Structure 1
């Protein structure tokens, strides 16, 4: 194993509470229906346009501008790494295993920096870097290219069937992690190579006790 690449939201960090709070702030501003954390969890992993169409039945560019101007910084300030994230990334680094983030977030580096994790990664790929979002393989393929790793030398870790499909399309083994909205059965059915409940279990799977 030469590299481990990670999805970001609900894989490395819990973003569900921050996104729910900020979406409801915007909903109050613009007269949109409030959303529950469960609704937000069901859309995490989708590009923001698709996520908002799922919960509100529509997407308007002016909504996105309003969110970015008023809520993006607040959202980033409330993102929290999952327990074990930093320890796992440190252990991978000590083993000279290259590390990457591959996410459907735009301007991914800003968010990764906001939670203090940017220094742990040799590659950070967000939606702004590719033409097509996950589950198309473009972002994962770019991550592999930046890390100079062939697909068979890498593992991709993600919490949704979108991540699993992305890895399969790129020819990379996928570890599904059940810290988001998808359970072991769903991730396995999508084609995950292995599934784990959390990052500590992922460390054990990768050989770290």
Structure 2
């Protein structure tokens, strides 16, 4: 990537929010198969579809979805450069959060599996039970209030359009991570990178603020 003055300003920010699956982890979700298993029409948003079902049926399908997500979380791996980027940001004293359409419990289990749980406070990991699902910007607003900042000093990092839409809607800067380098949403993207390792290399050097890993609370 080519770093411009605008990019440098974004990369110097101290409040970073990450999508989880496919961003901090290697993408292993087969959403077509998940839709088929849950009886969700092809191309439909899974969470929106379940929300529209009768209460008892919706609860049954949510339980089935959680079981699928737990199985996937049990075999996920960290994305290239995830640990190095998070360590570097944490060493600079940045506040770090996760905003996922998964549940918080599964998100925490995933972070633990990939070696990143210690860098995120539990209250800064928001799932679909803590905030309205992306692309609604509710989760970013909640983190901004928790951190005592306005959203336009934050950075949203993700691999999918929902992540970028969420950032745009809240007024945060957006970073698209796409290993295929097709970058399908340029109108929603401030910075595009092929990996978190590439993003870590692009971070400008700043004075280090040593701090211990966060313990989940």
Q: TM-score, normalised by structure 2?
A: 0.70
SS in 1 for 2:204: coil
Report the counterpart of residue 62 of structure 1 in structure 2.
Answer: 60
Aligned-pair RMSD on alpha carbons?
Answer: 3.1
Would the aligned equivalents of 2:151 and 2:172 in 1 still touch at CA under 8 Å?
yes
| Distance 1:165-1:75 versus aligned 2 partners, 3 A rule | same
Matched, 1:141 2:133: no
TM-superposed CA distance for 1:51, in Å, is: 7.8
Report the counterpart of residue 168 of structure 2 in structure 1.
Answer: 168
TM-superposed CA distance for 1:192, in Å, is: 0.9
| Distance 1:202-1:94 versus aligned 2 partners, 3 A rule | same
1:94-173 to structure 2, matched below 5 A, reads 94-107=91-104, 108-122=107-121, 123-130=124-131, 132-173=132-173
Task: Report which structure shows greater RCO (CA 8 Å, sep ≥6).
Answer: 2
Would the aligned equivalents of 2:81 and 2:198 in 1 still touch at CA under 8 Å?
no
Gaps spanning 5+ residues in structure 1: where? Answer: 34-38, 54-58
Matched, 1:187 2:199: no
Gaps spanning 5+ residues in structure 2: where? Answer: 1-12, 52-56, 206-217
SS in 2 for 1:128: coil
Report the counterpart of residue 74 of structure 1 in structure 2.
Answer: 71
| Distance 1:76-1:194 versus aligned 2 partners, 3 A rule | same
Report the counterpart of residue 17 of structure 2 in structure 1.
Answer: 5
Task: Give the length in aligned residue pairs.
Answer: 181
Moved over 4 A (4+): 50-53
TM-superposed CA distance for 1:199, in Å, is: 0.4
| Distance 1:194-1:51 versus aligned 2 partners, 3 A rule | farther
TM-superposed CA distance for 1:171, in Å, is: 0.9
Distance 1:73 1:136 in 2: 24
TM-superposed CA distance for 1:67, in Å, is: 4.3
TM-superposed CA distance for 1:50, in Å, is: 4.4
Distance 1:160 1:51 in 2: 19
Report the counterpart of residue 201 of structure 1 in structure 2.
Answer: 198
Would the aligned equivalents of 1:109 and 1:126 in 2 still touch at CA under 8 Å?
no
Would the aligned equivalents of 1:88 and 1:200 in 2 still touch at CA under 8 Å?
yes
